[in-house]
């Protein structure tokens, strides 16, 4: 069973994918509504929908959207794998010890990544900054948290990052990490109770260029230096998330410098038991806006309507 957000005839909807069919949820119309529920209530709602999967539509006929909406925020964790610590130390010109110290520190590195409306879904373009000369995807498992800080599910994340900007000065991390096109999630949320061991999930990264594999690698969440609940506890320690949060948990698959993303690349992040998140790469804001999804085009339009040239969906 998988929790999905998909395009309905009159706007985005949420449902359960089970048995090859997608069943719309009767008790909620958005992911943010679901993440406002306690875990027990959410589980009962999804189990009921999965039991009625025969009434749903074939999954092959459903267009999936990024599994986040409303006021839900996306946050990310840094230096949670040893390889990530080494890569960040190598790229930093002035403060390598910052990353060495945070790896073993009691307090983890957490940073804001994206508002829901900025997040790309499966098939949507991701972007590299025009003012950066070394950019990489960072494949990660993201935990989906409800308003109470409970882990309700898992999804795949691509935490796109500028190594050149962050490497120049750690204080530039927000510019290296937080911009339009830097975050992709999906394609689905796998409920927490459906995952036997979240610390034994295979993660694969493939970067295709001109139809060929330009870079690939694989790892496992068994190498994660911190526990999911620990990361979540720090996120909720001094803040509130009325419609939940998604917290990406870090990476240890980092292409070696000087390899970087280029326009036209396709990045595939595969997490065992969750699925494959695939995104084409563009460079710069103008290119991203030109290829934006209907949801992003609505968010960017001043009146909230679909921008000219795109009539694939109604205003939700």
> What end-to-end distance do the CA atoms of the chain give, in Å?
26
Residue 157's alpha-carbon distances to 130, 182, 185, 302, in angstroms, are 22, 10, 5, 28
- The reported pTM is 0.91
Residue 45's alpha-carbon distances to 25, 160, 241, in angstroms, are 8, 34, 21
What would the pLDDT profile of 95-109 be if each residue is shown by its tens digit? Answer: 557 777 888 889 999
Give the C-alpha separation, 35 to 18, whole Å. 20
Strand-pair partners of 218: 204
Residue 246's alpha-carbon distances to 5, 9, 285, in angstroms, are 15, 27, 24
Give the C-alpha separation, 150 to 174, whole Å. 27
Coil/strand/helix, residue 163: helix
Quote the pLDDT of residue 308. Answer: 44
Indicate the domain borders of the chain. Answer: 2-61, 73-300
Give the C-alpha separation, 277 to 47, whole Å. 25
Residue 258 preceded by cis peptide, ω within 30: yes
Quote the pLDDT of residue 302. Answer: 80
Quote the pLDDT of residue 56. Answer: 85
pLDDT < 70 positions in the chain: 53-54, 82-96, 304-316
Quote the pLDDT of residue 99. Answer: 78
Topology of the domain comprising 73-300: Fumarylacetoacetate hydrolase; domain 2 (3.90.850)
């Amino acid at each position: 069973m998988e929790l999905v957000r998909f395009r309905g005839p009159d706007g985005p909807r949420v449902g359960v994918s089970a048995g090859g069919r997608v069943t719309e949820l009767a008790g909620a119309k958005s992911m943010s509504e679901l993440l406002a529920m306690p875990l027990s209530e959410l589980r009962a709602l999804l189990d009921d929908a999965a039991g009625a999967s025969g009434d749903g539509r074939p999954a092959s006929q459903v267009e999936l959207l990024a599994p986040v909406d409303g006021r839900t925020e996306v946050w990310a964790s840094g230096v949670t794998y040893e390889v990530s610590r080494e890569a960040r130390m190598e790229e930093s010109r002035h403060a390598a010890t910052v990353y060495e110290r945070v790896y073993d520190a009691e307090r983890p590195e957490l940073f804001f990544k994206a508002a829901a409306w900025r997040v790309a879904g499966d098939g949507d373009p991701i972007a590299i900054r025009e003012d950066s000369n070394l950019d990489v995807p960072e494949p990660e498992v993201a935990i989906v948290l409800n308003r109470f800080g409970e882990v309700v599910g898992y999804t795949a994340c691509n935490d796109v990052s500028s190594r050149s900007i962050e490497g120049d000065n750690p204080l530039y991390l927000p510019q290296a990490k937080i911009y339009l096109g830097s975050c992709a999630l999906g394609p689905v949320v796998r409920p927490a109770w459906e995952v036997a061991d979240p610390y034994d999930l295979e993660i694969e990264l493939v970067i295709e260029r001109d139809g060929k594999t330009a870079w690939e690698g694989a790892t496992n969440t068994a190498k994660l230096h911190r526990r999911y609940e620990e990361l979540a506890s720090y996120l909720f320690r001094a803040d509130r998330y009325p419609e939940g949060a998604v917290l990406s948990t870090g990476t240890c698959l980092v292409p070696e410098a000087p390899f970087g993303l280029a326009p036209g690349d396709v990045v595939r992040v595969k997490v065992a038991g969750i699925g494959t998140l695939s995104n084409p790469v563009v460079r710069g804001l103008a290119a991203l806006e030109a290829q934006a999804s209907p949801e992003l085009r609505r968010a960017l339009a001043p009146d909230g309507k679909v921008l000219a040239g795109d009539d694939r969906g109604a205003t939700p």
